[in-house]
Amino acid sequence: MEVKMAYEAKDYSKLLGMEGFSDTLLNNHFTLYKGYVTNTNKSMETLAAMLKDGKAGTPEYAEIHRRFGWEFNGMRLHEYYFENLGGKKALDMSGKLAKKLIADFGSYETWLQDFKGTATMRGIGWAILYQDNVSGKLFNQWINEHDVGHPAGCIPILILDVFEHAFMTDYGLKRADYIEAALKNINWAIAEGRLK
C-alpha cells in the first residue's frame, strides 16, 4: 500500500577501490545499509496496515513506531556517510566550510581534534559534524544508538560511521587507524554543499 513511498537503496559501488578500504568491508557495509532500507519500508507498510486495521494504540504498533527511528536513521545516516566518502582532495581552506570551522572552533586543527575525539569515544555509533539550523553554529556530536540523540533541526555536514562493522574487517580493534583512513577519503565538496 505504501509502494509509491518506498525508499530505494542507492548504489555506492563507485566507492570500491577507495584507499584503505577493502572491497569485502565495503560490500558488507552496502549490504547492511540495504537492510536498513528494506526495514524502513517494511516498518512504514506495517504501520500503515495496522492503522487501517484500527490497531493504532496497541503495544505492537507502539513498538514498530519506536523501531522506525532506528531503521530510518540507519538508512539515512549511511547515505550521508557513503556520500561524503570517495573524495580525493583535502578541504579547500579558502572555502566556506573551512572558514566556518575556523570561525566556530578557532582553527581547522581544533575542529579536527574534537571530531577525532568524538569519533574515538567508547561505544558504537556515529561522529557527526552538525550545523545548528537556528544559530548556524557548527558542533561535533556523538550519536550512540542512532534512534536517539540527534539534535533537533540540525543539518548533518560530515558523518563518520564508527560502528565496528565500519572498520573491523580491515582494522580489527584499531578504530583510530580507520578514522585516519576515512579522513583521507572525505568528499569535502559534498560536506560543504550541505552547509547552509
The footprint of Fe ion (CB under 5 A) covers 161, 163, 166
DSSP label at residue 4:
G
Q: Give the nearer residue to Fe ion in terms of CB position, either 81 or 105.
A: 81
Q: Shortest approach of Fe ion to residue 109 CB, angstroms?
A: 27
Nearest-angstrom CA–CA distance, 33 and 71: 10
Q: Give the nearer residue to Fe ion in terms of CB position, either 125 or 157.
A: 125
Q: Shortest approach of Fe ion to residue 71 CB, angstroms?
A: 13
Q: Shortest approach of Fe ion to residue 32 CB, angstroms?
A: 6
Q: Give the nearer residue to Fe ion in terms of CB position, either 112 or 124.
A: 124
Q: Beta strands 126-131 and 155-161: pairing type?
A: antiparallel
- Residue 46, Cα to own-chain centre: how many angstroms? 25
Q: Give the nearer residue to Fe ion in terms of CB position, either 12 or 105.
A: 12
Closest residue to Fe ion, judged by C-beta, is: 161
Q: Give the nearer residue to Fe ion in terms of CB position, either 100 or 146.
A: 146
Q: Which of 69, 131, 133 is nearest to 100 (CA)?
A: 131
Distances (CA, A) of 55 to 2, 39, 71, 133: 17, 20, 21, 36
Residues with Cβ within 8 Å of residue 30, at least 6 apart in sequence = 12, 13, 82
Q: Shortest approach of Fe ion to residue 169 CB, angstroms?
A: 12
Cell of 169: 574487517
Q: Shortest approach of Fe ion to residue 35 CB, angstroms?
A: 10
Cell of 70: 532506528
Q: Give the nearer residue to Fe ion in terms of CB position, either 128 or 138.
A: 128
Cell of 133: 539550523
The two counts, helices (H) then strands (E), for the chain are 7, 3
